[in-house]
Amino acid sequence: MLALRTVEIPHLSPRPQAAAPANCPDAALEVRLAHASLRRLESKEHVFCEGDPRIHVFRIEEGVVAVYKTLPDGRRQVIDFAYPGDLIGLGVLDEHVLSAQATCPAKVRCLSASALEHAAEADPNLALRLYKAVCQELAATRNLLVTVGQRSALERLASFLMMLHRRVGQESGGLVRLPMRRSDIADLLGLTIETVSRTITKLKVMGVIELRRGTEVRLVDLAQLTRLAEGA
């Protein structure tokens, strides 16, 4: 399944939050997460692979995880990137239909999939939370189809950067991080690595972005980036 959105996280680390009220849809989930085991991952290490038994559901605590599908010819299509606060591994089948691989050192919480599903059967609030997550997943899938199927390389990369900006929030000052390889971005957007690199350079020459140290990118002209993302 795709990564299921929960909260917008700055700097790829969880934002401090108040405890969820008892009648909040997230309350039952948070209680279970508090007792879930923590697993540490190295860069490029898999959380799970396509075909593995679906024993656990995972919440990202730190780092970023690429959720992808391996095509019959061996190519990889990244479906989404999961960030801190996101759930991955939900589904109705006994096996994972996608793979999940850390793009950088990461930590995940491991929840029993069967226990979570049984709890949802008895807890309407938890069931509602998971239902909303599936709706968000469907919306993300539709957006990806439009991005890959109808947009130019410049529009695709602009849309990706705007998505990252929305996650970070206004307090970032337009600074976003790319804790994934350019090959990961290429596999998400349906481009080659060379095209991703050329397009990043083009955005820089246009004065839309600045490349900072390491994996940081500063979005200099958000208005222009928005227009490019919308194909205007």
- Say which residue, 1 or 70, is predicted with more confidence: 70
Which pLDDT belongs to residue 163?
A: 87
Give percent of the chain with pLDDT exceeding 70: 86
Q: What is the mean pLDDT of residues 45-58?
A: 96
Q: Which of 139, 133, 183, 188 is nearest to 159 (CA)?
A: 188
The domain limits of the chain are 10-149, 151-229
The pLDDT of residue 170: 62
What is the pLDDT at residue 26? Answer: 65
* Amino acid 109: pLDDT: 95
Q: Has residue 138 got a pLDDT over 60? A: yes
Q: What mean pLDDT comes out for the span 43-50? A: 97
204 has a pLDDT exceeding 70? yes
Q: What percent of the chain has pLDDT over 90?
A: 50
Q: Determine the topology of domain 10-149 in CATH.
A: Jelly Rolls (2.60.120)
Length of the chain in residues, anyone?
232
This model's pTM is above 0.85: no
Which of 95-104, 119-128, 166-175 shows the lowest mean pLDDT across its residues? 166-175
What does residue 100 show for φ and ψ, rounded to 5 degrees?
-135, 125
- At residue 28, the pLDDT reads 65
- 133 falls in which pLDDT band (50, 70, 90)? confident
Give the tens place of pLDDT for each residue, 155-193: 999 999 998 888 766 667 788 989 899 999 999 999 999
Say whether pLDDT at 222 is over 80: yes
Q: For residue range 19-33, what is the model confidence (pLDDT) as tens digits?
A: 445 455 566 677 777
CA angle 1, 143, 161 (to 5 degrees): 100
Two domains, one topology: 10-149 and 151-229: no
Q: Which residue has the higher pLDDT, 9 or 149?
A: 149
- Domain at 151-229: CATH architecture: Orthogonal Bundle (1.10)
